[in-house]
């Protein structure tokens, strides 16, 4: 029987990230502000993209750049210095059209990856698999012509993918001019570099454990990790909530898990228990169908945990040879990677790599350089 830790509710304390959004929207819009925007529904199931928006904005303010979450009911895009869109959506395309008509530059952080294996994971039937690969073939042959995604990318004055791998996809699959693309990596908060494991040990006990933090949905392949770990006898802690529409998948994960899995509802990104869990974990697992690169994995790496992660996406670009890679759908491969990472234990070299390359302050500085270039 699974153990459910019900004292770690996602509403246990207000979200400092949400507080930042609310507080900034209460102020009058500064003239020449950078307007930031993500899809209207994104904060209903928050993930790495939303954290990227909030943390980048906070650090930009430290550099003296006024930033405001865009409120369509009262804000005038025409008065903005520029519009920065996080993630790709038809809603963002409509805003980009308005901005361009007003002569306001558009910056886009696409936070995307085109991966047919991820589409196929949503429908494992023969019909679903065939439809997926036909769809992928049509997409690659057309280079995305006529799609709203390509129009959005073409509407942006500067595009900020999180990796060189993502940049290559945009150039090769959608024929985007590489001169408009500037790689800005994802980042982590410096507080994850030296977190205190005691709060997690008070909650879970002193034993080592594997950790998963993230949304519960087929793309994240939590079910595959549970299937691989079930016969291994190693404890797994899962932190996260189902994505709306994927409740059945989450139910299947719980049905398969036994006493080796402990379930904790989603924790706010600023909750000190999250950092403590990263610090206490022996390994962190994120064997998804793709990651770009997986913000939770980057945070766990900063805290020193050994990382077991998918090779699909931009993960190798971030973690290099300091992580353990396993393909989703390959149970033995996942088991071998977990055993190897468990034996190896904490990874101080990986933590130093994150500290030197991927703090939010670095991200904001590179973002600000792009902003300044658009105003020369």
The tens digit of pLDDT for each residue in 50-83 reads: 889 999 999 999 999 999 999 888 899 999 999 9
Pick from 322, 313, 355, 371: which is nearest to 107 by CA? 371
Mean pLDDT to the nearest integer, 201-205: 91
Q: Which residue has the higher pLDDT, 37 or 12?
A: 37
Confidence check: pLDDT of 15 > 60: no
Tell me if 3-8+188-357 shares its fold with 31-186+360-374: yes
- How many residues are present in the chain? 376
In contact, 190 and 90? CB cutoff 8 Å:
no
What pLDDT is stored for residue 125 in this prediction?
64
Confidence check: pLDDT of 5 > 50: no
Pick from 179, 180, 51, 22: which is nearest to 111 by CA? 51
What pLDDT is stored for residue 9 in this prediction?
35
- Give 143's contacts (C-beta < 8 A, 6+ positions apart): 150, 173, 174, 175
Mean pLDDT to the nearest integer, 13-22: 60
Q: Name the H helices within the chain.
A: 16-26, 48-62, 90-101, 116-121, 126-142, 148-155, 164-174, 198-204, 222-229, 247-256, 272-280, 295-303, 315-319, 331-344, 348-357, 360-374
Confidence check: pLDDT of 27 > 80: no
The overall average pLDDT reported for the chain is: 88
Quick check: helix, strand or coil at residue 281? coil
- CA atoms in the 13 A half-sphere facing the CB of 14: 8
Query: What confidence category does residue 358 fall into, taking pLDDT thresholds of 50, 70 and 90?
Result: very high
Per residue in 81-93, pLDDT tens?
999 999 999 999 9
Query: What confidence category does residue 375 fall into, taking pLDDT thresholds of 50, 70 and 90?
Result: confident
CATH code for the domain defined by 31-186+360-374: 3.40.50.2000
Q: Which residue has the higher pLDDT, 307 or 32?
A: 307
What pLDDT is stored for residue 2 in this prediction?
38
Q: Which residue has the higher pLDDT, 135 or 275?
A: 275
Range with the lowest mean pLDDT among 38-47, 170-179, 336-345? 38-47
What pLDDT is stored for residue 28 in this prediction?
76
The domain locations on the chain are 3-8+188-357, 31-186+360-374
Confidence check: pLDDT of 156 > 90: yes
- Give CA–CA dist 38/115, Å, rounded: 22
Query: What confidence category does residue 103 fall into, taking pLDDT thresholds of 50, 70 and 90?
Result: very high
3-8+188-357 CATH, one of 3.40.50.2000, 3.90.1170.50, 3.40.220.10, 3.10.129.10: 3.40.50.2000
């Amino acid at each position: 029987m699974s153990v459910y830790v019900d004292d770690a509710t996602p509403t246990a304390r207000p979200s400092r990230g949400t507080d930042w959004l609310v507080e900034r929207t209460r102020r009058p819009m500064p003239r020449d502000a950078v307007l930031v925007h993500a899809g209207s529904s994104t904060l209903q199931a928050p993930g790495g993209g939303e954290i990227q928006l909030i943390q980048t904005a906070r650090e930009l303010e430290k550099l003296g750049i006024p930033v405001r979450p865009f409120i369509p009911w009262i804000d005038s895009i025409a008065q903005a210095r520029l519009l920065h869109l996080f993630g790709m959506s038809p809603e963002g395309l409509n805003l980009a059209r308005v901005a361009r008509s007003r002569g306001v530059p558009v910056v886009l952080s696409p936070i995307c990856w085109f991966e047919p294996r991820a589409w196929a994971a949503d429908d494992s039937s023969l019909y679903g698999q065939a439809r997926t690969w036909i769809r992928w073939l049509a997409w690659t042959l057309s280079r995305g012509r006529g799609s709203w995604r390509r129009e959005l990318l073409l509407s942006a004055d500067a595009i900020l993918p999180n990796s060189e791998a993502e940049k290559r996809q945009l150039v090769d699959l959608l024929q985007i001019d590489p001169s408009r693309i500037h790689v800005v990596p994802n980042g982590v908060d410096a507080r994850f570099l030296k977190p205190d494991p005691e709060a997690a040990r008070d909650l879970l006990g002193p034993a080592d454990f594997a950790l998963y933090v993230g949304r519960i949905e087929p793309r994240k392949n939590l079910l595959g990790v549970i299937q691989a770990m079930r016969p291994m006898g190693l404890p797994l802690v899962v932190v996260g909530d189902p994505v709306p529409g994927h409740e059945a998948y989450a139910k299947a994960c719980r049905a398969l898990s036994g006493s080796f899995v402990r379930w904790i509802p989603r924790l706010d990104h600023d909750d000190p228990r999250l950092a403590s869990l990263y610090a206490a974990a022996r390994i962190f697992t994120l064997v998804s169908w793709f990651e770009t690169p997986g913000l939770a994995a980057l945070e766990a790496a900063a805290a020193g945990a050994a990382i077991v992660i998918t090779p699909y996406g931009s993960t190798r670009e971030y973690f290099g040879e300091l992580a353990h890679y396993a393909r989703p759908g390959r149970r033995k491969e996942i088991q071998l990677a977990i055993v190897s990472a468990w034996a190896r234990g904490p990874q101080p070299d990986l933590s130093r790599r994150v500290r030197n390359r991927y703090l939010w302050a670095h991200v904001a500085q590179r973002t600000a350089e792009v902003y300044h270039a658009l105003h020369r």
